[in-house]
Amino acid sequence: MIEQAYVQAVDQTTPTIQAIRARISQAVDATAGPVLDRLKFWLQMPTDSMFMGMMDNDCQVRAQRVGALLSPGARGLYESSDLSVPLEIAGKWAAVDEAVKADRAVIINGSTGHVGGSESKFNNKRNTGFHVIVFLAVGQESSGRRYYLGFDPDVSATAESRAKWKPLVLGGTEARAQKFDDLKSIQVVKAMILGDSQDGFGPLVRKYYVETDKAFPRIVHA
């Protein structure tokens, strides 16, 4: 699994954290449709607050539409080459860097256990299947260690994302969401993605310390 961590106030990325936050906020505000559709647009949600199951496995479709919305330039989102093939792996990651620095979201496709979160409901012992996340920026620690800033729509991904979700949508997700008005649905999405701090993010946006000199594990389909 790619090592992951949460954004700290001292972190600096390209594009900046503030620019990414503004881009996400504006895109969430502009998302149209019924309340449940708006939630599903951004979030891969559990069926209930006890995380007994997940409402869909549409991670690829979701990442593509979110990525497109978060790529304001004429060139649109960038879909990386197969990162499980070692050939020219350094060049593939250089292309990812170039894309995010040009305000293009990057679709990252990997095996379930490699790109997902440690608590994800989609993890399994055989590590079959795949997951898709969206990279939005590149950063570097004071130590020189590099990372990518990524959005993982999977609400079940980490202990922190689960804890954040439970009080927001207590009980059955679909029944609860149908009682939300537009403002409440937007608040839920922003709470999960943007969080409460103006210089950080919610639990669905994390730092990914990718070993860019190594290929991703091969995706094994169930």
> Which tokens sit at 221?
């389909």
Question: According to DSSP H, which parts of 78-181 are helical?
Answer: 89-101, 112-115, 159-168, 173-177
With cut-offs at 50, 70 and 90, classify the pLDDT of residue 221: confident
Query: For the whole model, what pTM was predicted?
Result: 0.95
CA atoms within 13 A on the CB side of 20: 32
At 141, is the pLDDT very low, low, confident or very high (cuts 50, 70, 90)?
A: very high
Distance CA 47, CA 171 (A): 9
Checking if the pLDDT of 222 tops 80, the result is no
Mean pLDDT for the chain overall: 95
DSSP letters along 106-120, please? EEEEEEHHHHS-TT-
Q: Which residues contact 156 (CB under 8 A, 6 or more apart)?
A: 44, 46, 51, 54, 117, 119, 120, 121, 122, 162
Q: Radius of gyration over alpha carbons of the chain, in Å?
A: 17
With a pLDDT cut of 90, the percent of the chain lying above it is 91
For the stretch 23-72, pLDDT in tens is 999 999 999 889 999 999 999 999 999 999 999 999 999 999 999 999 98
> What is the model's pLDDT at position 81?
87
pLDDT (tens digit, 9 = 90+) per residue, 104-138? 999 999 999 999 999 999 999 888 999 999 999 99
